[in-house]
Amino acid sequence: MTPQDTAKGGPHAEPAPDGQPAPPQNAEAPKVETPNAQSTGPATGRFEARSPGAPADATIVVPVRSVVLFPEIVFPITIGRPLSVEAAQAAVREQRQILVVLQKDPSVDAPGPDDLYQVGTVANILRYVTAPDGAHHVICQGVQRFRITEFVPGLPYLAAKGLHLPEPTGGGSEIEARFLLLREQALEVLQLLPQAPAELRMAIEGTQSPAALADLAAAYMDIQPAEKQEILETVDLVARLDKVSHHLAHRLEVLKLSAEIGKQTRASIDERQREVLLREQMAAIQKQLGEGDGNAAEMEELQKAIDAAGMPEEVEKQAKKELHRLQRMPDASAEYGMIRTYLDWLIELPWKDPAPLAIDIAEARKILDADHFGLEKIKSRIIEYLAVRKLAPEGKAPILCFVGPPGVGKTSLGQSIARALDRPFVRASLGGVHDEAEIRGHRRTYIGALPGNIIQSIRKAGSRGAVMMLDEIDKMGAGIQGDPASAMLEVLDPEQNNSFRDNYLGVPFDLSKVVFIATANVMDTIPGPLRDRMEIISLAGYTAEEKGQIAARYLVRRQLEANGLKPEQASVSPEAVADIIKNYTREAGVRSLEREIGRVLRHAAVQIAEGKAEKVDIGPEQVVEILGAPRFENEVRMRTSSPGVATGLAWTPVGGDILFIEAARTPGEGKLILTGQLGEVMKESAQAALSLVKSQAASELGVDPNLFEKSDIHIHVPAGATPKDGPSAGVAMYMALASLVTGRKIRSDTAMTGEISLRGLVLPVGGIKEKVIAAAAAGLTRVMLPARNKRDFDDIPDEVRQQLEFVWLERVEEAVAAALEAKVEAPASTPDDTPADALA
């Protein structure tokens, strides 16, 4: 070692010996003796060379007062002394490493070679930062131990030559054992330091190299710089591990003791300082990785958003905890994204109490009337419901459930209710939900986890007082992943839903102010306990007359608008609408009707757009022109044009419908063949009908009972609307068979429904209103119904009653008398689709 006085930091600004042009001394620049202080600009700033560089085989030395840098450790070093600034800038300029060396006495301001320890650490400069206050920081990463052998004179900073000290390699059991012990100690210490960042623990757990572990522990240990220096100088691995272990053991003891006596004050102050230091360091690392920038602003924003969200205390605590975690996390990590998304959910959910319901009953009535034609009973029920809500806002209002076929206005009634309550409207579709998690969300530990349907809808609505329509609650099914119905129960239960727990959120959310309305097509697939919670309101479907009114008042206007037409440009006459209803749609609601009206009006729109007409009036003729031949006309007459076919009335999830029951006889040995859309109960009905026909063959029907022995009977229900399985097709089956065996056609204007007993009694069935409406819609003029269903007569709309003749049946014989035509000779040929009794 050759001590050089030049190394004491004096100004040495001679021109470079290699003739490199060095800028002249700048008189106004140096407030200190560093000649190029003014050029230290931004973090990435370049530093102009003003002096000869250190030789290539030497290393630029940065003396430090209290830091011992270890290999592999990233550490920010604050430099203030001109000597060090000069050295660091030279290193940045020349893209060289620096040697960080501890000085023996921290109070020495301009240390010379004698003032420094001989072993330091070579480091890469990751970044050079000039803070706004003028302080300089070098973030450096230790690379390797280095022993100084001599100093290079003649430079404005210290530079030295020496030996790189490679880390000892090779393990062996004694190293292995010490390594494990050390790790255990380090982790134990960390456990006693609650403020220590999780990353440090992770680093310790992840380090596989004994040397690196010893250095890591030493670097973060709370011991004197001189003690650290001693560890740095200990290249021998066994000795180094022992030293670190010794310090840790001591530290551990102190920590335990202080924990025990509860005198942690000093320790925690230490630790807080430590934490501050570590935090700085982490920020430095993050910055280095390009991650830190803008983060602080983002965190602040999040903090503000959390404060403003109006969360309940428990939730706010949780949010702040997560925010705290987020702050310590590199923002490129996957977990950062997850926490960020979670926080966004917490922040964006409407926690605040909704404004109290201000219900104006008269106004609500107006809104309901304005949006919907007819439905008087249902509207009154809704008004009652609103009145109760108004009078007892805190009371447990029942949950309305609209049940009915598609297109009868369930969803749109819900929207009207929202309008009347002046609350946002939101739909949550439950159709096809099989998994509890779809309602209640997935735990956050799942990748891509999200809250369930309910919470998602709440966020969409933006209010805790929204009207939430639970659509298709009848189409929810239990799957292997738990039963969504039980989660729904919790959602709807007024006892529980003020603290609904979504798995993803993990904190309770108050759903008690949400106005739930459910919809379903059928009642019997709604899980029982759910049904009990709800007040069922049935919408049966509309008569042709009502549909006409709805079209005139709402649908035509809406479709005009949808197709860009003004009322003075096109019109659809009531007759045209009636024809569309009768001949082009078969439905309980008005969806297809609206669609067909739309088609007709689009045609008009084209004509007007092409300039072919100023105004298009659509009458019945135009309807045929545009929509083609009637789709449903005369179907009944055609189908029932030969014996063996009965027109039944069915109840289906989409409303009432007519259905044809066909019977045929083939040579055989008395078998009954059943095909088509038949459920189990319907099959039994078919059997009962056959037995009844057999038993009555001679007595009532006047046919040879032996006929059945030589033939098979085939009953077929063609595909069409899918009827709900049940016994109500009994009469129609009986009639189809009776017609078949007698060869007498069934009157084509007559439809029928009713269960039969083996003794020939006609028993009452359900769905009379829907079925009768469907019969009228299909153009039939007579219906045969069980006498015991007379009690349902009042429900049937007036126009339908007027259109139909009702035959009330006590026994099947009455049906035979009322609906079988007199026998005519079988025609030579019969339509293909009608199984004729060619063998009779």
Ligand X SMILES: Nc1ncnc2c1ncn2[C@@H]1O[C@H](COP(=O)(O)OP(=O)(O)OP(=O)(O)O)[C@@H](O)[C@H]1O
- Binding residues (CB under 6 A) for ligand X: these are 372-375, 406-412, 519, 521, 550, 554, 589-591
Residue 407 binds which entry of ligand X, Mg ion, none, with Cβ cut-offs from 5 to 8 Å by kind? ligand X
CB of 758 to Mg ion, least distance (A): 42
For Mg ion, the closer of residues 278 and 530 by Cβ is 530
For Mg ion, the closer of residues 115 and 471 by Cβ is 471
CB of 544 to ligand X, least distance (A): 14
Positions in 525-544 near Mg ion (CB under 5 A) = none
Runs of H (alpha helix) within 172-329:
173-191, 198-206, 210-220, 225-233, 237-261, 265-288, 295-308, 313-327
For ligand X, the closer of residues 174 and 535 by Cβ is 535
For ligand X, the closer of residues 112 and 374 by Cβ is 374
Whether residue 557 contacts residue 422, with contact meaning beta carbons closer than 8 Å, is answered with no
Q: What is the number of alpha carbons within 13 Å of residue 340 lying toward its C-beta? A: 15
**Binding segment (CB under 5 A) for Mg ion, from list 411-419, 537-545, 573-581, 830-838:** 411-419
For ligand X, the closer of residues 248 and 517 by Cβ is 517
Three-state secondary structure call for residue 482: strand
Whether residue 470 contacts residue 425, with contact meaning beta carbons closer than 8 Å, is answered with no
CB of 821 to ligand X, least distance (A): 39
For Mg ion, the closer of residues 12 and 427 by Cβ is 427
Residue 708 binds which entry of Mg ion, ligand X, none, with Cβ cut-offs from 5 to 8 Å by kind? none
CB of 558 to ligand X, least distance (A): 7
CB of 515 to ligand X, least distance (A): 17
For Mg ion, the closer of residues 419 and 801 by Cβ is 419
**Binding segment (CB under 5 A) for Mg ion, from list 95-103, 141-149, 330-338, 405-413:** 405-413
What are the tokens at 251?
A: 């530290």
Residue 89 binds which entry of Mg ion, ligand X, none, with Cβ cut-offs from 5 to 8 Å by kind? none
DSSP string, 768-787: HHHHHHHHHHTT--EEEEEG
Question: How many of the other CB atoms lie within 10 Å of CB of 526?
Answer: 22
CB of 766 to ligand X, least distance (A): 20
For Mg ion, the closer of residues 473 and 751 by Cβ is 473
Tell which residue, 814, 834, 817, 818, has the closest CA to residue 826: 834
Residue 500 binds which entry of Mg ion, ligand X, none, with Cβ cut-offs from 5 to 8 Å by kind? none
**411 near Mg ion (CB under 5 A):** yes
Residue 128 binds which entry of Mg ion, ligand X, none, with Cβ cut-offs from 5 to 8 Å by kind? none
Question: How many of the other CB atoms lie within 10 Å of CB of 262?
Answer: 7
Pairing of strands 158-165, 59-64: antiparallel
**Number of residues in contact with Mg ion under rule CB under 5 A:** 1
Residues 12 and 415: their CA atoms lie apart, in Å, by: 85
- The strand pairing partners of 125, in sequence order, are 140
Residues 690 and 685: their CA atoms lie apart, in Å, by: 9
Residue 375 binds which entry of Mg ion, ligand X, none, with Cβ cut-offs from 5 to 8 Å by kind? ligand X
Residues 475 and 33: their CA atoms lie apart, in Å, by: 83
Whether residue 351 contacts residue 315, with contact meaning beta carbons closer than 8 Å, is answered with yes
Runs of H (alpha helix) within 441-543:
453-461, 484-492, 528-533
CB of 430 to ligand X, least distance (A): 12
Positions in 357-396 near Mg ion (CB under 5 A) = none
Measured CA to CA in angstroms, residue 166 lies from 122, 141, 173, 231, 766 at distances of: 12, 16, 21, 15, 92
For ligand X, the closer of residues 54 and 399 by Cβ is 399
CB of 587 to Mg ion, least distance (A): 14
Residue 116 binds which entry of Mg ion, ligand X, none, with Cβ cut-offs from 5 to 8 Å by kind? none
Residue whose entry in the numeric block shows the structure tokens 């209010």:
463
CB of 447 to Mg ion, least distance (A): 34
Enzyme catalytic residues: 728, 771
Task: Report the Cα–Cα distance between both ends of the chain, in Å, rounded.
Answer: 128
For ligand X, the closer of residues 597 and 751 by Cβ is 597
Question: ∠ CA 136-139-145 to the nearest 5 degrees?
Answer: 120
**258 near Mg ion (CB under 5 A):** no
Q: Where are the beta strands (DSSP E) in 436-514?
A: 467-471, 500-501, 508-509
Residues 387 and 368: their CA atoms lie apart, in Å, by: 14
**429 near Mg ion (CB under 5 A):** no
- The strand pairing partners of 536, in sequence order, are 401
Residue 82 binds which entry of ligand X, Mg ion, none, with Cβ cut-offs from 5 to 8 Å by kind? none
Residue 769 binds which entry of ligand X, Mg ion, none, with Cβ cut-offs from 5 to 8 Å by kind? none
Residues 97 and 91: their CA atoms lie apart, in Å, by: 6
Q: Residue 31 phi/psi, 5° resolution?
A: -85, -20
Whether residue 154 contacts residue 12, with contact meaning beta carbons closer than 8 Å, is answered with yes
Residues 498 and 402: their CA atoms lie apart, in Å, by: 24
Per DSSP, 479 falls in state B
Residue 591 binds which entry of Mg ion, ligand X, none, with Cβ cut-offs from 5 to 8 Å by kind? ligand X
Residues 211 and 331: their CA atoms lie apart, in Å, by: 30
Whether residue 736 contacts residue 646, with contact meaning beta carbons closer than 8 Å, is answered with yes
**Binding segment (CB under 5 A) for Mg ion, from list 37-45, 349-357, 403-411, 616-624:** 403-411
For ligand X, the closer of residues 491 and 590 by Cβ is 590
The residue whose Cβ lies closest to ligand X is: 409
Question: SS3 for 99-146, per residue?
Answer: EEEEECCCCCCCCCHHHECCEEEEEEEEEEEECCCCCEEEEEEEEEEE
CB of 196 to ligand X, least distance (A): 58
CB of 319 to Mg ion, least distance (A): 36
For ligand X, the closer of residues 333 and 412 by Cβ is 412
Residue 554 binds which entry of ligand X, Mg ion, none, with Cβ cut-offs from 5 to 8 Å by kind? ligand X
**Binding segment (CB under 5 A) for Mg ion, from list 16-24, 404-412, 611-619, 832-840:** 404-412
Per DSSP, 705 falls in state G
Three-state secondary structure call for residue 617: strand
Residues 9 and 61: their CA atoms lie apart, in Å, by: 12
Runs of H (alpha helix) within 543-641:
544-550, 556-562, 574-579, 591-609, 620-627, 635-639
Residue 584 binds which entry of Mg ion, ligand X, none, with Cβ cut-offs from 5 to 8 Å by kind? none
CB of 371 to ligand X, least distance (A): 6
What are the tokens at 616?
A: 């298009």
What are the tokens at 197?
A: 């960042």
CB of 475 to Mg ion, least distance (A): 12
Residue 412 binds which entry of Mg ion, ligand X, none, with Cβ cut-offs from 5 to 8 Å by kind? ligand X
Distance between alpha carbon 339 and the CA centroid of its chain, in Å?
16
For ligand X, the closer of residues 521 and 652 by Cβ is 521
Tell which residue, 195, 76, 200, 74, has the closest CA to residue 142: 74
Residues forming contacts to Mg ion in the complex (CB under 5 A) are 411
